[in-house]
Structure 1
Amino acid sequence: MIISEKIFTVRGLTYRIRSASASDAKQLSDLRLKIDGETEYLDREPGEAFLDEKAFETLIQEDAKQSRHLFLVADIEGKIVGFSRCEGHALKRSAHKVTFGIAIQKDVWGYHIGKELLASSIEWADQQGIQKMSLHVLETNQKAIRLYERHGFLIEGVLKNDKQLGDGLYYDTVVMGRQRPIS
């Protein structure tokens, strides 16, 4: 699915939120690898489950065709600094929901890029009649958990000792969901 682009300025930084295009594939491949090395909040170690330019191009093209998929990017003067994705489900019993994920490069944390990617995804999901958005977030990412809660997500469960991080310790994954408001 494709949405209209939006422009934001926060503390002097101007960025756009827009649908991903096939021409973004190389930047997205490079950015994902970079972000995986900047934080342990995501599922992967740097280089794991690597997606090259062609894989991103295919993903973007397929998502654009699907009414229950949304791939957004945040860019600053054409340089992609973050992205989010909603992935719908093909099975009838799960067709009412999407799974949400997000990644922002560390040097632009604090400029509300994640907040605006999330808000744009929620707006899209509500317009599409999607009943539920779900996501997983590492227990140590309290800032993200608070952001999701402010946008109507509730904690639905905890996956105990779900991720082993670089310190060798195991951490919980928080499962969160947002139900579409009844109109």
Structure 2
Amino acid sequence: MIIHAQEVHAKGLRYTIRSAVEQDAGALSQLRLQIDGETENMDRERGEAYIDPAGFAGIIAADASHPRRLLLVAEAEGRIIGYSRCAGPDLKRFLHKVEFGLGVLQEFWGHGIGKRLMTETISWADANDIQKIVLHGVLETNKHAIELYKRLGFEIEGFMKRDRILSDGKYYSTYIMARHKE
């Protein structure tokens, strides 16, 4: 699905939230690789489940033409600095929900980019009669994200004990969070 571009000025930064286009494929491939290496909050380590530019071009094309998929990018200073993606299965029993994920370059944290990507996604979901947005694997130590999700109407629906092993060799639990359309 495609949305109209939104211009944002927040905390000294001008950026645009827009639907991804095919020309973004290379930048998205590199962005995801960098974000995965900046924090352990993501599911992957740097280089795992790598998606090359051709793979992203396919995802962008498929998402743009699917009524229950949305791939957004945040663009500032002439480059893509964040992304979010919603995708819902085509199974009839699950047509009411989508799964959500996002990432923002660490150097741009604190400008409300993640929040803006989420609010645009929530608006899109509500306008398209999607009843539930699900976040899987929210790391228990990612308190800032958990509080943001809660402020945006998400609630904890589940807790996965010892779900991940991080670089310190310890196990960490994750939350399953969801927002239900009001």
TM-score by length of 1: 0.98
| Structure 1 SS opposite 2:99 | strand
Partner of 1:69: 69
Partner of 2:54: 54
Runs of at least 5 residues in structure 1 that lack an aligned partner in the other structure: none
Per-residue CA distance 1:87-130 (angstroms, 9 max, x = gap) = 01111111100001000010000000000000000000000000
Partner of 2:17: 17
User: Alignment length, in residue pairs?
Assistant: 181
Aligned equivalents of 2:36 and 2:3: distance in 1? 27
Partner of 1:155: 156
Per-residue CA distance 1:131-162 (angstroms, 9 max, x = gap) = 00000211111100000000100000101000
Partner of 1:142: 143
The answer to which of 118-127 and 3-12 deviates more is 3-12
The amino acid that maps onto 1:20 is: A
Match runs of 1:29-178 below 5 Å: 29-136=29-136, 137-178=138-179
| Structure 2 SS opposite 1:70 | strand
Aligned equivalents of 2:36 and 2:177: distance in 1? 22
| Structure 1 SS opposite 2:100 | strand
The amino acid that maps onto 1:17 is: I
TM-score by length of 2: 0.98
Aligned equivalents of 2:85 and 2:115: distance in 1? 14
The amino acid that maps onto 2:139 is: L
Aligned equivalents of 1:104 and 1:165: distance in 2? 20
Per-residue CA distance 1:54-83 (angstroms, 9 max, x = gap) = 000000000001000000000003300000
Aligned equivalents of 2:19 and 2:77: distance in 1? 15
| Structure 2 SS opposite 1:9 | strand
Runs of at least 5 residues in structure 2 that lack an aligned partner in the other structure: none
Structure 1 consecutive aligned stretches of length 4 or more whose deviation exceeds 3 Å: none
Per-residue CA distance 1:3-54 (angstroms, 9 max, x = gap) = 0010111121100000000100000000111111100000111100000000
Aligned equivalents of 1:78 and 1:119: distance in 2? 23
Aligned equivalents of 1:139 and 1:93: distance in 2? 29
| Structure 1 SS opposite 2:75 | strand
Question: What root-mean-square deviation, in Å, do the aligned CA atoms of Structure 1 and Structure 2 show?
Answer: 0.6
**Identical counterparts, % of pairs:** 52
